Amino acid sequence: MKKTEIERIPILLPEELRRICDGARIYDSSSSPEARVYFIDRGDGFYLKTATKGSLEREAVMTGYFYKKGLGGEVLSYISGESDILLTRAVPGDDCTTAKYLNEPKRLCDLIAERLRMLHETDPSDCPVKDRVGEYIALAERNYRNDNYNKEHFPDSFGYSSGEEGFSALSRGKHLLKNEVLIHGDYCLPNIMLFGWEFSGFIDLGNAGIGDRHIDLFWGRWTMGFNLSLYNLPDADKYGERFLDAYGRDKIDTDILNTVAAAEVFG
């Protein structure tokens, strides 16, 4: 997780949050244009995330839920005014894109696969978000209808040569997806925290809830190949299949994985 030191957080904060920042070193740790993330280096550390009004409400709810389950960081404050502000206590350790973990790709691959299987076996009966599948499919269909997806990845966007081909596959297979397990929703190496090879928590939980395990499986397979290729590891693409093996093929349906890939064509 990159961190660039800055002088101050460039928005007006409520007094109780300013007190946490006063005198602390501040780092910009943002990784997407949709939100800004700042690390506050005080005590064991805090993360402050800002985004458009209402956009962090789900993340605040699900981060709090994962914390209750012992799977994420503590939510200290969620404020929705002109914009959203979410303050959490830092999860100990480093994310899985840290060199010491990428240096042992087999160990890392097996660990995150086994950790995902454990997540999917967590009792989700009290989860506040019950229908991630419905939301997931609705978003993909809306983006297709509005022509709101990245066409630069064609002719090979997650295995599909065009938007029409991807949407046809989604339409045929969407009935296969079920709300059955607790999912992360964006199961990628930067969102998994380890402390000395011990799992310490998940971050970026805005897409979490009860959904279909294959959404996480798709991204787990993808992240191993993508992040290891960025690290210039030879044969990086083979780790995606190792990930599925380590998770357990007994729970994997290739048809559903292909349907998820079709949905992801449309973000």
Residues involved in catalysis: 186
Distances from the Cα of 22 to the Cαs of 11, 26, 27, 43, 80, in angstroms? 14, 10, 13, 13, 22
3-state DSSP assignment of residue 238: helix
DSSP string, 89-141: EPPSSEETTSHHHHTSHHHHHHHHHHHHHHHHTS--TT-S---HHHHHHHHHH
User: Please, are residues 241 and 137 in contact by the beta-carbon 8 Å criterion?
Assistant: no
For the beta carbon of residue 240, count every other beta carbon within 10 angstroms. 19
80 class by beta-carbon count within 10 Å (0-12 exposed, 13-18 middle, 19+ buried): middle
Contact assessment for residue 96 and residue 231, using Cβ atoms and an 8 Å cutoff: no
